[in-house]
Structure 1
């Protein structure tokens, strides 16, 4: 354990996924035990992901396939948070979507109108079948006054064949051509975290954020006012932590080398 620790005990946990509970399709050691313990302790939690392409049911299925117990109701995605945020700004808003099935479904479930012309918002996530014509349409809508909303800023996505462009890479093109900085929803923005806090029905000062990425997970937790725990199970390790902390401009409240250490830290902090 490093850093100064968290003074308040957790009333709930917001958990990152990739790099924290799994790598690709491989479960990280202790991920199953962590979820089992949270259930045993009746400590509420949510899985929080920047992924906008998959519906919560799909995310839960992937976790269960890796032996990590999960239900769709426990998943919070950037697509859900983006759709709900737009609906709060303008109920029944018209949205032009660059994205996949998870994003379209989230928009429809939030009562938004998915349109091709005259949108109030351009809502963009990852789209692995994106065409130039669709990019051009989005740029036209932005120049015509549509507000540009980006689900998440991730520039790269891991795949079995190597790194692929993420939603943030598409966003870089739209920002350059549209001339409008997007409204950012996913980590490190607090909007996704606030959405997850609403689902937990907890305040930020009652909640811990756990993740492996200082620039997204920890930065988002800090922006929301949550306690933050960095786990050295993914992007960040003992050798690069200081470098990443400098780049991210933030530090975690606590650091755990692995998930079993995290289980012990939560146990000692709650007195369970």
Structure 2
């Protein structure tokens, strides 16, 4: 199979790797992009790592890449808040890396009263954090989620993602969050700006229909579904709107 695109947006979890287990066909694909000088940006809903940490994980798996080729939902969240909530304070559920990205963007974090509640995947999630967030949202704080992924692929199997955990707050408060990550248009616009290409010049590669593929479908970008992560191909084929292309893995896609 050979389709001519000028560049690619490439998901990470379930596309490049599952947890700490690399997907070799994806590594080879990115190596070909590098050799041929074809531009690409990794577009991930994973907000647990900084741009540099996300790149180091790939490099540790033998993928030749660099920080300027990484765009995360944490980066998009920081950009969104800077644009729409400048000067406001935030209570954050998430990793130290997420908090660092937000602070670097000039966002004031607080454990007390806050204008915003920002929620990303937090491996240390507990009742205290959820209770405090629910009380803040109930008191009028805006609710922002880095991403809606309900399922998260690891080397052990599928585990709860941020979207599953944030449902605790949705059920408690009755408030749906503003979601920044895929399939939001906001993160797609940021990634395209970083890639420096137009929508019709790009294909988006991913494993998750509800995030990766819907980003492209909703945003007018061609999509390539790989059967290496969250959404099995047989499940995707039953959808009303199909990806532009469906392949088993990236060894089936030439550039």
- Is TM > 0.5 for Structure 1 vs Structure 2? yes
Q: Which residue, 40, 44, 48 being the options, matches 1:45?
A: 40
SS at 2:24 equivalent: coil
- Residue-by-residue CA offset, 1:86-132 (whole Å, 9 max, x unaligned): 11002232111011112101211221111123322110011122232
User: Residues 152 and 238 of structure 1: is their aligned pair in 2 closer, same or farther, counting only changes over 3 Å?
Assistant: closer
- Residue-by-residue CA offset, 1:130-178 (whole Å, 9 max, x unaligned): 2322222211211222110011112233445554332112210111112
Structure 1 segment 143-222 matched on structure 2, within 5 A? 143-159=138-154, 162-222=157-217
Q: Which residue, 79, 91, 98 being the options, matches 1:96?
A: 91
Q: Which residue, 239, 246, 254 being the options, matches 1:255?
A: 246
Structure 1 segment 18-167 matched on structure 2, within 5 A? 18-159=13-154, 162-167=157-162
Gaps of 5+ in 2: none
CA distance in 1, matches of 2:115, 2:190: 22
The Cα of 1:237 is off from its aligned counterpart by 4.5
User: Residues 131 and 212 of structure 1: is their aligned pair in 2 closer, same or farther, counting only changes over 3 Å?
Assistant: closer
CA distance in 2, matches of 1:161, 1:205: 37
Gaps of 5+ in 1: 268-272
CA distance in 1, matches of 2:245, 2:203: 10
> 1:53·1:126 contact (CA, 8 Å) conserved in 2?
yes
CA RMSD of aligned residues (A): 2.1
The Cα of 1:206 is off from its aligned counterpart by 2.2
Query: What TM-score do the two structures reach when normalised by structure 1?
Result: 0.86
Q: For this pair of structures, how many residues does the alignment match?
A: 255
1:270 aligned partner: none
Query: What TM-score do the two structures reach when normalised by structure 2?
Result: 0.91
- 106-115 vs 32-41, greater mean Cα deviation: 32-41
User: Residues 18 and 30 of structure 1: is their aligned pair in 2 closer, same or farther, counting only changes over 3 Å?
Assistant: same
User: Residues 158 and 235 of structure 1: is their aligned pair in 2 closer, same or farther, counting only changes over 3 Å?
Assistant: closer
CA distance in 2, matches of 1:147, 1:93: 10
User: Residues 144 and 226 of structure 1: is their aligned pair in 2 closer, same or farther, counting only changes over 3 Å?
Assistant: same
The Cα of 1:219 is off from its aligned counterpart by 0.4
SS at 1:30 equivalent: helix
Q: Which residue, 215, 231, 236 being the options, matches 1:241?
A: 236
> 1:211·1:229 contact (CA, 8 Å) conserved in 2?
yes
